[in-house]
Amino acid sequence: MKHCSHCSALVSFIVPQGDNRHRYVCSSCEFIFYENPRIIAGCLPTFGDKVLLCKRAIEPRKGYWTLPAGFMENGETTQEAALRETYEEAYASPQLNELFSVCNLANYNQVHLFYLAKMTSAQYGSGPESLEVELFEEANIPWDDMAFGTVTQTLQRFFEDRKNGAMQLHHIDF
């Protein structure tokens, strides 16, 4: 960042008075630009004993499998974002259940949230960001072709919880 979006003056990367982190601060109007982590919200949709996965049609990790998820938009809740992304990527409209995993990616300034979701029918399709969408039994999950560690870890914990008969909230740091 070089210029203030409020007054066009130059900005400096300094620790503002009373703060403890470097921030971009306008040299003229003294506006402080706070940069905060991005939230990625998604679903872990199930139909019977199967999980719905999407093969990515976009970068990063084009051609790899993931749970339907994406960046939260302003003006929506995390639950609304998870359902919107599931519809955009998989044309599926599951019933949203509880939050299942919170994945902290401090080095990437991201937090990934995955909600459990139950599909009431096997209706789904490939949205514009998906090459394929498919329901997988645990034994057929393409583990070597998963797009993101957050998805792999979330799925592994889901299958473990399911085997143990009790779902719990998972906090996972990357």
Exposed/middle/buried for residue 59 (C-beta within 10 Å: 0-12, 13-18, 19+): exposed
Q: List pLDDT tens digits, range 162-173.
A: 999 999 999 999
String of DSSP letters for 85-142: HHHHHH---PEEEEEEEEEEEGGGTEEEEEEEEE-SS------TTEEEEEEE-GGG--
Residue 116 confidence (pLDDT):
98
Domain 38-173 in the same topology as domain 1-35:
no
**pTM of this prediction?**
0.90
The mean pLDDT of 21-30, rounded to a whole number, is: 95
The pLDDT, as a whole number, for residue 135 is: 98
> What's the Cα-to-Cα distance from 163 to each of 13, 53, 138, rounded to whole Å?
50, 20, 11
CATH 2.40.30.10 at 1-35, yes or no? no
Instruction: Please compute the mean of the pLDDT values over residues 94-121 and round it to a whole number.
Output: 98
Phi, psi for 121 (deg, rounded to 5): -150, 165
- The dihedrals phi and psi of 87, each to the nearest 5 degrees, come to -70, -45
Query: Which architecture characterizes domain 38-173 according to CATH?
Result: Alpha-Beta Complex (3.90)
**What are φ and ψ of residue 92, in 5° steps?**
-115, 145
Instruction: Say what the pLDDT of residue 129 is.
Output: 96
pLDDT at 126: 97
The token pair that represents 134 in the structure block? 């498919």
For the stretch 32-68, pLDDT in tens is: 999 899 999 999 999 999 999 999 999 999 999 999 9
Break the chain into its structural domains and give their ranges.
1-35, 38-173
* Residue whose structure tokens are 């514009």: 128
Question: pLDDT-derived band of residue 82, with 50, 70 and 90 as boundaries?
Answer: very high
CB atoms within 10 A of CB 6: 12
How many percent of the chain have pLDDT more than 70? 100
What is residue 87's predicted lDDT score, i.e. its pLDDT? 98
